[in-house]
Chain A
């Protein structure tokens, strides 16, 4: 709770939180908020590429679909992608980081070297290749993103665990006979949580952006899904005439990623021990 208060005292972080919450609300109620909820699948050829108007506040796209509705509907997939990719990456990265950070010796070394390998592969290229490997589509893109993002969690958690392993309180716990799983799960993990949380929020921003690039390059979300990146990609052919076509989905990406990043930034400051310290 104090953390939240800290966060809200920082206007930039508060803005981030507001953006993220707004996006989540929009995502939850998307079908009720969108003026034309069926526009994910409809095509209305006679209304294609109409500029913004009262009827279509964000204009219409190349198949005559309402862009506002599609931006709203797209929020859901953006949030779902962000959350599930980051969760999946966490599921891989956190245990790896914990274990590698706790143990000494070749197991730990090997794990970190594997992490290095994944870090050395350019994320987008790996994602593209994976996109080809499995049927291209949103699921593939998500798997690919999770596979490319887990090393960041592994690194963060590894560093935190290394730091905490040397902390006196961990030593003290070993002193009173606490088992390793107990120390790792009940003490190291919660203490690493702020760093993980910061990494996660930044990761969400990163994921949305990369998913958009993948959509843009044609290996992300499949049409007709109202994916934002896909929309910008589709809009390329209609520029600069239909300026509204890429602009609104582009702005949506900008705002949500901005929200996640600002939130992460704020959390970083709040989680910073310097600000927490003091009696």
Chain B
């Protein structure tokens, strides 16, 4: 009997697709659930999934989506427009991470089902990325959920460890162990059918490996068939050299950023920011430390996304220039003499390396940087107010949905101040106006222009330091076939995979 596929990527804390939205949760979303739309391919294409088509009213407020026929949930019951309405209302009522994209524009009562195959959304303001955000929402089976409801929690406690989906795989609840083990079995009646994959995998066991070093070793030994998609660049060569394993390298949409708190001196001074921007050793970091397995990204949006200005020149690593800017800033009274704190996520080695390298170079322009190890919840917990937000911090902005709104829109519009994405506290009325307009316009080419405009302004102000766009690196055993990557979900869709003998 063939050894099941062992998936070594991280599992989300909860299986409830409406409760979290992070990179690991996409694995659940893509395999156990279906959404109305789905991103596939690279560059990502938004393709109708449970939806057949959509229409939008002239004013951009009313969206109607027609559902595909003959979709069944895992329990065999057919999916109707009411189920979709239930799912959206549940999402909005729970008001957790994946709802964030919708709550500003959509009220629960404004989702309705005029007929069994049509779902109608009436937005409170026009919202261009509406469709782009659709894949975030998993359609759940209300019948299963209401049966398992407790204290009118919409089945939240139950769903955290069970599933109510229609996706290509169903889970085995009995053997599920949170963050440790998830066993999946193929759902042969999936609406897409299995015609495009003659040898689909019947059994998939997800076994996350916590430690990076263990993860790589486990792959090399064949204990797992896939690592996460952030293999340390130093390990790539080794995994490729091994006869049993390979590395899938795919350009993604995930921007590595060093944030600066623009409200805190010295970063309220543009020269100070520019000084920092020129003091980061981009080629050293990208080419030597990361071995060229990343792509220099000059602005907040990933290079491979639309809406970037033509021929944008990235900041160069130029200490002379940096010194010049620093001198100017000092002359203007910016307190560059104080020790500047940079918060890193200590479990993510790359943030630490970048900070250490930066620290060494900044010393040469007379700036002292102090590295503060921290964690994601600690940092995001502190970004609610400018006073508590760190001077600097390091992180990535991943592709949650494919629209500039996901990057520049939510990062540099001052209406998002208080969220971690907008934690540089950048404020520019011109940019705010451009972004607001781009958010509501339904004309793609106009939006592209507006975003390009905004990007130019932002880059000129240098509120943050954008370093690179990620190439996802996933270690795979060679028996894994049919791996297809899309920036949303990082190639975690199992439907297309098969196992060589």
State the Cβ distance, B215 to closest chain A Cβ, in Å.
10
Instruction: Pick the interface stretch among A91-99, A132-140, A189-197, A266-274.
Output: A132-140
Instruction: Pick the interface stretch among B242-250, B344-352, B463-471.
Output: B344-352
Query: Within residues 209 to 246 of chain A, which ones have a CB less than 8 A from any CB in chain B?
Result: 218-219, 222-224, 234, 236-239, 241
Bound complex: CA of A273 vs CA of B35, how far in Å? 76
Bound complex: CA of A237 vs CA of B232, how far in Å? 7
Report A-chain residues with C-beta under 8 Å of the C-beta of B373. 136-137, 218-219, 222-223
Indicate if A63 sits at the interface (CB-CB under 8 A): yes
The residue that A223 contacts in the complex, of B281, B347, B356, with Cβ under 8 A, is: B356
B288 and A137 within 8 A (CB): no
Bound complex: CA of A135 vs CA of B357, how far in Å? 22
Looking across the interface, which residue of chain B has its beta carbon closest to that of A43? B360
If A223-B373, A237-B349 touch, whether A48 touches B288 (CB-CB below 8 Å) is yes
If A41-B363, A237-B235 touch, whether A137 touches B372 (CB-CB below 8 Å) is yes
Query: Within residues 14 to 62 of chain A, which ones have a CB less than 8 A from any CB in chain B?
Result: 41-43, 45-46, 48-49, 62
Indicate if B375 sits at the interface (CB-CB under 8 A): yes
B234 and A219 within 8 A (CB): no
Indicate if B378 sits at the interface (CB-CB under 8 A): yes
Bound complex: CA of A82 vs CA of B449, how far in Å? 60
A236 and B213 within 8 A (CB): yes
B346 and A136 within 8 A (CB): yes
If A49-B234, A62-B353, A219-B346 touch, whether A136 touches B360 (CB-CB below 8 Å) is no
If A41-B363, A236-B213, A237-B212 touch, whether A62 touches B289 (CB-CB below 8 Å) is yes
Report B-chain residues with C-beta under 8 Å of the C-beta of A45. 281, 284, 288-289, 357
Looking across the interface, which residue of chain A has its beta carbon closest to that of B283? A45
Looking across the interface, which residue of chain A has its beta carbon closest to that of B341? A135
Q: Size class of B's contact patch?
A: 20 to 34
Indicate if B374 sits at the interface (CB-CB under 8 A): yes
If A43-B356, A45-B289, A222-B371 touch, whether A239 touches B213 (CB-CB below 8 Å) is yes
Looking across the interface, which residue of chain B has its beta carbon closest to that of A42? B360
Indicate if B355 sits at the interface (CB-CB under 8 A): yes
B289 and A48 within 8 A (CB): yes
Interface string of B151-169 (1 = CB under 8 A from A): 0000000000000000000
Bound complex: CA of A238 vs CA of B211, how far in Å? 13
Report B-chain residues with C-beta under 8 Å of the C-beta of A135. 372, 374
Bound complex: CA of A136 vs CA of B390, how far in Å? 13
Interface string of B365-384 (1 = CB under 8 A from A): 00000111111001000000
Query: Within residues 329 to 346 of chain B, which ones have a CB less than 8 A from any CB in chain A?
Result: 344, 346
Bound complex: CA of A97 vs CA of B374, how far in Å? 35
A41 and B359 within 8 A (CB): yes
State the Cβ distance, A42 to closest chain B Cβ, in Å.
5
Looking across the interface, which residue of chain A has its beta carbon closest to that of B233? A237
B346 and A224 within 8 A (CB): no
State the Cβ distance, A35 to closest chain B Cβ, in Å.
18
Looking across the interface, which residue of chain B has its beta carbon closest to that of A135? B372
Indicate if B177 sits at the interface (CB-CB under 8 A): no
Indicate if B238 sits at the interface (CB-CB under 8 A): yes
Bound complex: CA of A46 vs CA of B285, how far in Å? 11
* Best-buried of A42, A136, A236, A237 by chain B (most CB within 10 Å): A237
Bound complex: CA of A239 vs CA of B355, how far in Å? 22
Bound complex: CA of A8 vs CA of B173, how far in Å? 64
The residue that B356 contacts in the complex, of A46, A63, A136, with Cβ under 8 A, is: A63
State the Cβ distance, B266 to closest chain A Cβ, in Å.
21
A234 and B371 within 8 A (CB): no
State the Cβ distance, A223 to closest chain B Cβ, in Å.
5
If A43-B356, A43-B357, A45-B357 touch, whether A234 touches B349 (CB-CB below 8 Å) is yes
Report A-chain residues with C-beta under 8 Å of the C-beta of B360. 41-43, 63, 224
Bound complex: CA of A135 vs CA of B393, how far in Å? 14
Bound complex: CA of A95 vs CA of B410, how far in Å? 56
State the Cβ distance, B393 to closest chain A Cβ, in Å.
13
Report A-chain residues with C-beta under 8 Å of the C-beta of B344. 223
Pairs A–B under 8 Å by Cβ, sample size 25: A41-B363, A43-B356, A43-B361, A45-B281, A45-B288, A45-B357, A48-B289, A49-B234, A62-B353, A63-B289, A63-B357, A135-B374, A136-B372, A136-B373, A218-B375, A219-B373, A222-B373, A223-B371, A224-B360, A236-B212, A236-B213, A237-B213, A237-B232, A237-B235, A238-B234
Q: Which residues of B contact A (CB under 8 A)?
A: 211-213, 232, 234-235, 238, 281, 284, 288-289, 344, 346-347, 349, 352-353, 355-357, 359-361, 363, 370-375, 378
The 6 residue pairs across chains A and B that have the minimum distance between CB atoms: A218-B346, A236-B213, A43-B360, A237-B232, A45-B288, A45-B284
